[in-house]
Amino acid sequence: MTPLKKINSRFVPLPMENVDTDQIIPARFLKATTRDGFGKNLFRDWRYENNDDTKPKKDFVLNKSDYSGEVLIAGKNFGCGSSREHAAWALQDYGFKAVVSSFFADIFKNNALNNGVLPVKVSDDFLVKLFALGNEATISIDIDKQTITIDATGAQEIFDINVYKKTCLLNGYDDIDYLINNRQAIEAFERIP
């Protein structure tokens, strides 16, 4: 995994609650056997008319040329539903490095972190402030300091992340390396009757 330290970017607002992983990536796109290329089907059914990728829905935010950036900002309970990691792959492949919301579903949160996409949980009030920003606004996320800042106003919030996960993100470590290095302890555990 590539280390992730700071993000400074414009953002894409998706002011909807309960965005489930079936919306992030519909089931019919889960037939691949590799992790690549899911970005083009991100939010597929909200993004295109009649499943036709030559007909983008003009009012969907990913199709609006005035919005872009590495950060997705969404309403509460983002990523609920299916455990499909394809949702995290799709967000990452599309180019998002962080998702900001006031509430995340558990499995999604793990999946995102395991793919170097940072879930940033902010207060409801801060989320309202973010949604009120214009499309030129930029935000900064500092993983070491655990802060998210609206650049124009300096408004800032501190977000939670456990120390272990933070170390992983900052250094690009992943959990699998950790577990493989601990196989001896695991084998010893297996011998306990």
Contacts with another protein by CB under 8 A lie at 16-18, 20, 22-23, 26-28, 30-35, 45, 51, 75-77, 80-86, 88, 103-107, 110-111, 114-115, 162-165, 174-176, 178-180, 182-183, 185-186, 189-190
Least distance CB 60 / another protein (angstroms): 13
* Closest of 162, 130, 124, 125 to residue 143, by C-alpha: 162
Q: Which is nearer to another protein, 49 or 153 (CB)?
A: 49
Work out whether strand 98-101 and strand 118-121 pair parallel, antiparallel, or are unpaired: parallel
Least distance CB 91 / another protein (angstroms): 13
Other CB atoms closer than 10 Å to residue 26's CB: what's the count? 17
Q: Is-contact 7 117, C-beta < 8 A?
A: no
Q: Which is nearer to another protein, 22 or 151 (CB)?
A: 22
Q: Which is nearer to another protein, 9 or 21 (CB)?
A: 21
Cα–Cα–Cα angle for 173, 177, 179, rounded to 5 degrees = 125
Residue 12 to residue 25: CA distance in whole angstroms: 17
149: β partners:
140, 156
Least distance CB 8 / another protein (angstroms): 27
Q: Which is nearer to another protein, 152 or 176 (CB)?
A: 176
Residue 94 to residue 77: CA distance in whole angstroms: 21
Least distance CB 191 / another protein (angstroms): 12
Residues shown for the chain: 193
Q: Which is nearer to another protein, 1 or 140 (CB)?
A: 1
Q: Which is nearer to another protein, 136 or 190 (CB)?
A: 190
Is the torsion defined by CA of 164, 138, 101, 25 positive or negative? negative
Least distance CB 83 / another protein (angstroms): 4
Least distance CB 39 / another protein (angstroms): 15
Residue 44 to residue 31: CA distance in whole angstroms: 15
